Amino acid sequence: MVATSKGNDTIKRLQGCQKGNKVQGLHDVKVYLARFGYLNYQHTPDHVNPLQNDEFDEELEAALKSYQNFHHLNATGTLDGPTVSQMLMPRCGVPDKKSSHNRQTKLLHIVSHYEFFPNSPRWPPSKMHLTYAFGSNYPNAYVPPVDSAFNTWANASGYFTFSRVDDITSSDLKISFKSGDIGGGVILNETILAYAYAPTNGTFYYTENENITWSVGPAPNAFDLETVALHEIGHLLGLDHSEDQNAIMWDYLPIGEAKGLNEDDIQGIKALYDLNK
């Protein structure tokens, strides 16, 4: 389905396609864009699902422009080189766009790009302190980067505190490695680095895949565990993907380097929990 190696090869081969083309494999592009919230065909049972055909129609062109705008690319509406390159990068599995984003809280932050999940779910005031635990398959050597990420969010928010516990069944937040289908159309494989749910689910998965190399601290051709943890903890607390490329909540995560919170991330968490009063 989404983000398979076969799908990536297809997207690469389709570079240069534009509206009016009918090329085998274009349905993979449609599925990719639908998975991340850019494409939502309205079809009836009497018609074939447009996601299953290979026609480059107006809806696909509009979806590509939306994707390009979100990622600060030239909005050509075609599968040009920069767009294909962006789509081939490993990323967070959480969709970028939903149909009912709540932007009301952002009225006083016109220059900000942070987003919340639909209906702005958040932890109740009784849960300013959250416990977290690791799954049985989680390597001990990978614990310190996540501890550090929680400390960073605690300091940045000035609101949350976190503590590690041993019992994952009773912890508020649960961190583990997992691969394959986790439900809801999400498949953890080599192009989906991690996935975390909005409050108050509390589940955070790193992807376990032989094609993904993890590192404690930045390392060539590896993904920094702490950087990815910072991003996914943001989801656990209620932040959705930001349109600010410098924010930790940007949807694509860098390989071979570390990244931290920026002002957009901090403004976002404070706005969500009304901490600016």
- Show which residues are catalytic: 232
Distance separating alpha carbons of residues 141 and 156, to the nearest angstrom: 25
Tokens standing for residue 237:
């607390």
Pair 19, 62: CB distance under 8 Å:
no
HEC per residue, 63-104: HHHHHHHHCCCCCCCCCCHHHHHHHCCCEECCCCCCCCCCCH
3-state secondary structure of 12: helix
Query: What single letter denotes the amino acid at residue 195?
Result: Y
Residue 24: phi and psi, rounded to 5, are -55, 130
CA angle 37, 41, 188 (to 5 degrees): 40
CA angle 116, 118, 121 (to 5 degrees): 70
Burial bucket for residue 4 (CB in 10 Å: 0-12, 13-18, 19+): middle
Find the helix or strand (DSSP H, E) in which 231 lies.
Answer: helix 225-237
